[in-house]
Amino acid sequence: MSKDFERAPNHFTDRIGASDWPVEAGRYRLVVSRACPWASRAVIVRRVLGLESALSMAVADPIQDSRSWRFTLDPGGRDPVLGIEYLGEAYRAREPSYDGGISVPAIVDVPSGKLVTNDYPEITLNLEIEWAPLHRDGAPDLYPEPLRDEIDAVNEDVFRDVNNGVYAAGFATRQRAYERVATRLFERLDALEDRLSTRRYLVGDTITEADVRLFVTLVRFDAVYHGHFKCNRRKITEYPALWAYSRDLFQTPGFGDTVNFDHITRHYYEVHRNINPTGIVPIGPELRLWATPHGREALGGRPFGDGTPPGPVVAGEEVPDLPPA
């Protein structure tokens, strides 16, 4: 009997701003991998809202080992703030008997070294709502209250069929299960193509949480999911509206300047040895295409609404530049 891929629920679901975890500048550390789409959501939202000085960020090596995400990109192989070699140490500081998965994004309480949450769907909403007093001047509203029902509905469809759909296809072990989820993925991409043919953003006329959640999958699609996860009916570059929309967001401050394609490709192709036994990392696709004109301005819309773009990337958080178009 074929069975669809199921994503394990997050074990630590505390919300900062409630109970024992007050919102406090400098108290917490966001741990991410630039390879991971779920973590990339938090990286984008943190940057767009200007939370860099309030919430520090640790970037893990894109290649895990058997002990979990590791801090080998830092001097001495330890995170300079938390003082740990592996993210799993923060999980066990919170719950010594924990033996489940170690995932990013994760927010860690710096004074105690304990994990607060790995609840990726809620982390960005938490940053947008409870962390509002610490947002930069001119920060946009990524989760406007009048549009939340529509944003939530779009997010539900996108998560089921696209964000999680690529994984369901990639990790399927039965032909029928693979065909079912892959077909549903492309049906949803077709629907999104229609939706974005006449509007610049998914909900309303500004960037919202919905755009962040879709973007992190689209930006990885041709580089990883098309080949590695067998999502090969079409590339995103073959969808006129989706490809232009992806480039529009990529070229918007806070989006493309957080993307590290080297981390993305090396993680998927080197870590998933059950799918890619040789560990060979492909040389494509052509990244300079991300810098080409998108023409989406003709649809109107204001990326940051009544707000302003974020400033330059803070020192130490830069990603490699794309080759010129």
Catalytic positions, written as ranges: 36, 167
Residue type present at position 288? R
Distance (Å, whole) CA 317 – CA 67: 25
Tell me the torsion sign for CA atoms 50, 217, 14, 68. negative
Quote the distance between the C-alpha of residue 152 and its chain's center: 17
Within the chain, where are the H helices? 37-48, 88-94, 120-129, 148-158, 165-170, 175-196, 209-220, 226-228, 240-250, 261-271
Quote the distance between the C-alpha of residue 166 and its chain's center: 14
The answer to whether the beta carbons of residues 237 and 292 sit under 8 Å apart is no
| Distance between start and end Cα atoms, the chain | 48
Distance (Å, whole) CA 122 – CA 102: 17
CA distances to 221, 254, 311 from 314, rounded to whole Å, are 27, 11, 8
Rg (CA), the chain: 19
Residue type present at position 318? E
Question: What residues does 108 pair with on adjacent strands?
Answer: 29, 115
Cis link prior to 9 (omega < 30° from 0)? no
